[in-house]
Amino acid sequence: MSRIGVFVCHCGENISSTVDVEKVAQTAAGFDGVAYSVDYKYMCSDPGQSLIKQAIKDHNLTGVVVSACSPRMHEPTFRKACAEAGLNGYMCEMTNLREHCSWVHERTEETTEKAIDLVRMLVEKVKNDKPLEPIKVPIFKTALVIGGGIAGIQTSLDIANCGHKVILVEKEPSIGGHMSQLSETFPTLDCSQCILTPRMVEVAQHPNITLYTYSELESLEGYIGNFKAKIRKKAKSVDHSVCTGCGDCWTKCPSKKIPSEFNAGLDNRTAIYVPFPQAVPNKPVIDKDHCTYYQKGKCRLCEKNCKPGAIHFDLEDEIIEVEVGGIVVTTGFDVKGTDFFPEYGYGKYKDVITGLQFERLASASGPTLGEIKRPSDGKVPEKIVFIACAGSRDPAKGIDYCSKICCMYTAKHAMLYQHKVHTGKSYVFYMDIRAGGKNYEEFVRRAIEEDKVNYVRGRVSTVYEKNGKLIVKGADTLMNGQPVEIEADMVVLATAGVANCGSEELAQKLHVSYDRYKFFAEAHPKLKPVETNTAGIFLAGACQAPKDIPETVGMASGAAAKVAALFSQDELKREPLIAVVNRQMPPTFSSCVGCFLCETACPYRAIEREEIKDRAGNVIKTIAKVNDGLCQGCGTCVAFCRTKSIDIQGFTNEQMYSEVMALLND
Amino acid sequence: MTLGFYPGCSLTGSSREYAESVVALCEELGIELKQIPDWNCCGATAAHNMDKELSLSLPARILALAEKDGMTEIVVPCAACYSRLSTTQYELNQDETLKAKVASIIGMPYKGSVKILNVIQMLQKYAVDKLADKIKKPFDKEVACYYGCLLVRPHEVLQFDRVEDPQTMDVLMAQVGAKPIDWAFKTECCGAGFSVSQPDIVGKLSGKIVKDAVDRGAKAIIVACPMCHSNLDMRRPAIDSYLKTKVDIPVLYVTQVIGLALGINREKLGLPRHFVPVTFA
């Protein structure tokens, strides 16, 4: 015989101003099986919890119904209180009298009636509750970090420094990402390479980090604590264990006209190449798509010139499988193409370049060794125009969102230009200046006031070439929309930051969600910014949304802390509210007939097949089995099961029916 | 092959040669044009500056008349009329209440089902594959294709061509042997209705357009809008005085150029009607 306690909360006035809580408590006292019923102002407070604990002891309660706010808010609180009083936590359930009743209705008789009905349903459910124990899952304490930009580097170092193993996978031949391409960084103008390259080296030398460059995630299986990842190590055609990185190969390579990715197409590289002199690892790979030997079957000049004999054209892609407990996705961003605003002339005029290309021009490691020279004829531009929001905040043609970093890097570009070309004139066309961040606004003011960068508030309608000059036509909206025409020598477009081209495919491999712009989606926009909706997979950096270096590094350390917290336990405890396939005595063993409709229905690939064997080892029956590490308790399999052999623990068919019957029988 | 035809006011007055060339070209291509019976003014700039319902009702009546006559597609050569009719159809399709109200104002049923084509769309759809065979004399000249404001804007209404760097006219011109130049003023404003109130502004704006075309080696400017044509052609004295030089580059309608390439005679295409003489035969 059930002895259930009902505890009705006022939630200050949140519930009691609309619902007659005393009446609810009094009515519930009369329900069949209710041994105790009371109302209280703040049930979640310490005295409120004590009230529950005392009642469990005094009245020898077998179940508890707390009628208060959403279980999302306080279910763990009350379950813990019950457990402390010796009652299994899963014998405690919550009725949501706040969000489901008092907040959405006026104070009327019906509102109180609805509250009473809600309590009645839960009382019936609790009668069918069974004690449950949390599920324990072991943890494999190695982290997989996907993407070797600054986010991946920071995450890997932080996790490795906590004493855990890290596998860092980077698809390019070197780690470093976009940050390695940058010249100076805002708002301090310290050199990007100077602060980044020591960390790249640290990654390569860290005893806890295994680095796989030129590699990509092939597939992922498993669940938090127990992932199995397949990694494709693309054939480098160079044996890095033998290669000394001397450079004899790439100086002799005859394919010299391949646009350099690192220099954003401003100069060329060879087919066997190291992306940049400070690359980690500083050893080459062969780009098969452009190698004369791979394309035409002849050449092998690099092989002839390699003294250690490191070049092997017959190397093939290798797929390795690793076991990891947590994953951090740090795949970064891309720069949006420029073909959707042909009026700015990118691609048509050589001296219209993107912000990333300007970074390379301004960088000491770039094709001009840091001198600002225009691509068409190598002349130093005397007048330069920067166009902010080239694609961002443009629902008509570009993307809706603000790319966030452009205001700052445009100010930096203009500043660097003024520092390098003292007689030069620079103009920035902008919509708004978004300089939120420590020392950011001051930085922009410095560009305007000290470096005399001309900020023009308005959009550029078109850029065209005339007599060797780029004519930039725009409007100055602070001067009544007066048309402005500037004869520039060079134009720099602050193109939008967009999701990496492979992000959608990667998200699908990882089973994490992504937004409409194909950025990876965080689990909660405010309170879970580094988590994804898939347990054990975390995010850091610009793969989640465009962000600058400080924010990326902060997020990377945050994700690392999440992984470290996960790895601080030896096993994981999870809510046992998952599906189970029933088991019966022989000869049926289970009512499951092995149709495996559940297998096709399960979105988490949690259904496995279990063979039931006799003593001789002969298979008698194959039935479904739920992997309790993978199951998320969604209940899809329950709906699909034709023989009603699967139930969700804590939400069994019996419990659901008893709730419904409580309403119908009233 | 019969299409509905809405000439609008300009084509019956100041740009009769546009109408003549459209009709002559369609005749040559085997497209029969049937005028919408009892058509009225589209409202032009005046209506939508004064009264929104009026500006929607005038074009809606034209479209309703076309529906009543069983037309499914109509050709609207004037870019301004094309813009007004398309905008009306777009706005009424967004708002059922407004649609019902406008129908009651015009006292006719209005469905909004007629497809509205400008001349370039019509040629793309019904003439593209016929042109090559019919060319008698390729129009072997550098041309500056000038689209102006209303032919391609606003994009969400018209869904036609690239807004800032349109290409369709260039493609058509290339098909009849012309060499479209890459230039900077394809969609810059010609001064439009200021032609009447402040012709000096038209002189300046149209002057820049004409100068860029000439500077980049164009032998003719090609248009598909009566307003653009009258500003670039009729306002040439104001343009010349702004540029402080006399420019004699002619301005032709897209239909006239194709007509010439197809061997239609110049009188039939209305070429002698231009202010700036057209010397091409």
| A341: nearest CB among B156, B164, B188 | B164
Using the 3D structure, point to which of B89, B119, B149 is the last residue of a domain: B119
Nearest to A458 by CA among A473, A471, A475: A475
B112 in a structural domain: yes
Long-range contact pairs involving A311-314 (C-beta distance under 8 Å, separation at least 24): A311/A237, A311/A238, A311/A239, A311/A249, A311/A272, A311/A286, A312/A237, A312/A238, A312/A239, A313/A237, A313/A286
Q: Does residue A420 carry a pLDDT above 70? A: yes
Distance (Å, rounded) from C-alpha A311 to C-alpha A595? 54
Distance (Å, rounded) from C-alpha A584 to C-alpha B100? 67
Nearest CA in chain A to B164: A343
Average pLDDT rounded to a whole number, residues A637-657: 94
Where are the alpha helices (H) located in A101-208, listed in sequence order? 109-127, 150-161, 192-205
| A342: nearest CB among B164, B183, B188 | B164
CB contact under 8 A, B163 and A462: no
Reported as a single tens digit per residue, the pLDDT across B118-176 is: 999 999 999 988 898 999 999 999 999 999 999 998 988 998 888 888 999 999 999 99
The CA distance from A648 to the nearest CA of chain B, in Å, is: 47
B126 in a structural domain: no
Cβ neighbours of A113 (radius 10 Å): 16
Do B268 and B150 belong together in one domain? yes
Cβ neighbours of B272 (radius 10 Å): 10
Contact with chain B for residue A343, Cβ under 8 A: yes
For residues A143 and A328, the answer to whether their CB atoms sit within 8 Å is yes
B156 in a structural domain: yes
Reported as a single tens digit per residue, the pLDDT across A543-581 is: 999 999 999 999 999 999 999 999 999 998 888 999 999
Between the CA of residue A664 and those of A295, A316, A470, A661, what are the distances in Å?
A: 75, 68, 78, 5
The CA distance from B49 to the nearest CA of chain A, in Å, is: 21
B161 in a structural domain: yes
Do B104 and B140 belong together in one domain? no
Cβ neighbours of A665 (radius 10 Å): 8
**Token pair recorded at residue A629:** 């590490």
Which residues of chain B have a CB within 8 Å of the CB of A466? 184, 212, 215
| A462: nearest CB among B162, B184, B215 | B184
For residues A253 and A301, the answer to whether their CB atoms sit within 8 Å is yes
Q: Which residue out of A338, A343, A487 would a mutagenesis test of the B interface target, given it has the greatest number of B Cβ atoms within 10 Å?
A: A343
| B164: nearest CB among A462, A465, A471 | A462
Q: How confident is the model at residue A89 (pLDDT cuts 50, 70, 90)?
A: very high
Query: Quick one: CA torsion of A444, A450, A456, A459, rounded to 10 degrees?
Result: -40
For residues A576 and A140, the answer to whether their CB atoms sit within 8 Å is no
| pLDDT on residue B62 | 97
The mean predicted confidence, pLDDT, of chain A is 95
Which residues of chain A have a CB within 8 Å of the CB of B184? 462, 464-466, 471
Contact with chain B for residue A471, Cβ under 8 A: yes
Which residues of chain B have a CB within 8 Å of the CB of A465? 184
B188 in a structural domain: yes
Reported as a single tens digit per residue, the pLDDT across A360-410 is: 999 999 999 999 999 999 999 999 999 999 999 998 888 999 999 999 999
Do B114 and B137 belong together in one domain? no
Average pLDDT rounded to a whole number, residues A486-492: 97
B25 in a structural domain: yes
The number of distinct structural domains making up chain B is 2
Do B108 and B200 belong together in one domain? no
Contact with chain B for residue A339, Cβ under 8 A: no
Place of tokens 């000249």: B141
Q: How confident is the model at residue A413 (pLDDT cuts 50, 70, 90)?
A: very high
Which residues of chain A have a CB within 8 Å of the CB of B163? 397
Nearest CA in chain B to A461: B164
Length of chain A: 666
Do B159 and B233 belong together in one domain? yes
Containing A38, the helix (H) or strand (E) segment is strand A34-40
CB contact under 8 A, A397 and B165: no
Which residues of chain A have a CB within 8 Å of the CB of B156? 396
CB contact under 8 A, A471 and B184: yes
Average pLDDT rounded to a whole number, residues A498-504: 93
Residues of B with CB under 8 A from a CB of A: 155-156, 162-165, 182-184, 188, 212, 215
The CA distance from B165 to the nearest CA of chain A, in Å, is: 6
Q: Please give the DSSP secondary-structure letter assigned to residue B263.
A: T
Residues 6+ apart with CB under 8 A from B90: B156, B157
What is the interface size between A and B, counted as CB pairs within 8 Å?
A: 21
Do B113 and B214 belong together in one domain? no
DSSP string, A238-276: B-TTT-----HHHHH-S---EEPTTTTTSSEE-SEE-SS
The end-to-end CA distance of chain B, in Å, is: 30
Domain with B33 in it: what CATH number? Answer: 1.20.1050.140
Distance (Å, rounded) from C-alpha B171 to C-alpha B161? 11
Q: Does residue B94 carry a pLDDT above 70? A: yes
Reported as a single tens digit per residue, the pLDDT across A433-473 is: 999 999 999 999 999 999 999 999 999 999 999 999 999 99
Contact with chain B for residue A273, Cβ under 8 A: no
Do B59 and B142 belong together in one domain? no
Using the 3D structure, point to which of B87, B119, B151 is the last residue of a domain: B119
Do B185 and B240 belong together in one domain? yes
Reported as a single tens digit per residue, the pLDDT across A339-357 is: 778 899 998 999 999 999 9
B42 in a structural domain: yes
Using the 3D structure, point to which of B97, B119, B141 is the last residue of a domain: B119
| pLDDT on residue A555 | 98
Q: Tell me what ipTM this predicted complex has.
A: 0.77
Domain with B244 in it: what CATH number? Answer: 3.40.50.11810
Q: Does residue A666 carry a pLDDT above 70? A: no
Contact with chain B for residue A462, Cβ under 8 A: yes
The mean predicted confidence, pLDDT, of chain B is 94
Nearest to B9 by CA among B72, B108, B89, B76: B76
pTM: 0.79
CB contact under 8 A, B165 and A343: yes
Task: Using a pLDDT cut of 90, give the percent of chain B over it.
Answer: 87
Going from the N-terminus, what domains does chain A have, and what CATH number goes with each? 4-127 (3.40.50), 142-234+317-332+502-567 (3.50.50.60), 248-305 (no CATH), 335-498 (3.50.50.60), 579-648 (3.30.70.3270)
Domain range enclosing B56? 2-119
Q: How confident is the model at residue B281 (pLDDT cuts 50, 70, 90)?
A: low
CB contact under 8 A, A464 and B184: yes
Q: Does residue A586 carry a pLDDT above 90? A: no
Reported as a single tens digit per residue, the pLDDT across B210-244 is: 999 999 999 999 999 999 999 999 999 999 999 99
Nearest CA in chain A to B167: A342
CB contact under 8 A, A396 and B164: no
Contact with chain B for residue A60, Cβ under 8 A: no
Distance (Å, rounded) from C-alpha A531 to C-alpha A543? 13
Residues 6+ apart with CB under 8 A from B98: B56, B91, B92
Do B150 and B262 belong together in one domain? yes
Helix/strand/coil for B72: coil
CB contact under 8 A, A397 and B163: yes
For residues A630 and A604, the answer to whether their CB atoms sit within 8 Å is yes
Do B78 and B166 belong together in one domain? no
**Token pair recorded at residue A73:** 């808010």
Looking at residue A240, its amino acid is: H
| B164: nearest CB among A343, A348, A465 | A343
Which residues of chain A have a CB within 8 Å of the CB of B188? 462
The CA distance from B209 to the nearest CA of chain A, in Å, is: 13
Which residues of chain B have a CB within 8 Å of the CB of A461? 164
Which residues of chain A have a CB within 8 Å of the CB of B164? 341-343, 461-462
Distance (Å, rounded) from C-alpha A220 to C-alpha A212? 16
Contact with chain B for residue A307, Cβ under 8 A: no
Reported as a single tens digit per residue, the pLDDT across A159-176 is: 999 999 999 999 999 999
Contact with chain B for residue A347, Cβ under 8 A: no
Do B269 and B140 belong together in one domain? yes
Reported as a single tens digit per residue, the pLDDT across A236-292 is: 999 999 999 999 999 999 999 999 999 999 999 999 999 999 999 999 999 999 999
B278 in a structural domain: no
Q: Please, what sign has the CA dihedral across residues A146, A149, A152, A156?
A: positive
Do B151 and B191 belong together in one domain? yes
